[in-house]
Amino acid sequence: MTVTTSEPRRVLVLNGPNLNLLGTREPGIYGTATLADVEALCRDRAAAHGLAADFLQSNHEGVLVDAIQAARDTASGIVLNAGAYTHTSVAIADAISAVGLPVVEVHLSNVHAREEFRHHSFISPVATAIIIGAGLNGYGYAIDQLAGLP
């Protein structure tokens, strides 16, 4: 008899600067859920699809770039809320292009209903899908989307 086991496919959920403050300020824009709530939702939704989730938040651009590069060896896709780096970071966009993994870009708020400088994203042209303004649910939809990809 041969018994084989397989590791679950993994998704990386990556959050950028200041998202560690979720639930502590600006509830009118970002809601009352905390980053721990986002993590719990992501882990539950991933598990429902038979996936495992890795979860990281950083306030540092280079840490986010390193995490995207490392995901090439560990993950089948990335859920990315790059926070304000969305609007500034060529380095994060280049890392996404370099690893070639599907990336679902998520924003809690509807950035198009906010200041002009939030209307441009360096991530969107290299993202597989974009979910904007759905609040916490957006992370769940992003994992659903990744789960449906081959």
Measured from the CB atom, the residue of 37 and 52 that comes closer to ligand CA2 is: 37
Q: How far is the CA of 32 from the CAs of 26, 50, 55, 77, 131, in angstroms?
A: 8, 28, 20, 27, 19
Clarify whether 119 is annotated catalytic.
Answer: no
Query: Which run of H or E residues covers position 88?
Result: none
83 binds ligand CA2 (CB under 6 A): yes
**Would you count residue 15 as binding ligand CA2 (CB under 6 A)?**
no
Q: Which stretch binds ligand CA2 (CB under 6 A): 2-10, 53-61, 101-109, 141-149?
A: 101-109
- Binding region for ligand CA2 (CB under 6 A) out of 3-11, 16-24, 40-48, 52-60: 16-24
Q: Nearest Cα to 42, choosing from 30, 56, 32, 31?
A: 56
Return the DSSP state at 45.
H
CA distance 105 to 89: 14
- Site membership for ligand CA2, residue 35 (CB under 6 A): no
Angle of the 35-48 helix axis to the 137-147 helix axis, nearest 10: 30
Q: Decide: is 30 part of the binding site for ligand CA2 (CB under 6 A).
A: yes
d(CA 110, CA 108): 7
Stretch that binds ligand CA2, among 40-48, 52-60, 65-73, 104-112 (CB under 6 A): 104-112
Q: Is 43 in the site for ligand CA2 (CB under 6 A)?
A: no
Question: Which residues, listed in sequence order, are joined to residue 107 by a DSSP beta bridge?
Answer: 132
Smaller CB separation from ligand CA2, 25 or 72: 25
Least distance CB 18 / ligand CA2 (angstroms): 4
Binding site for ligand CA2 (CB under 6 A): 18-19, 21-22, 24-26, 30, 81, 83-84, 86, 107-109, 111, 118
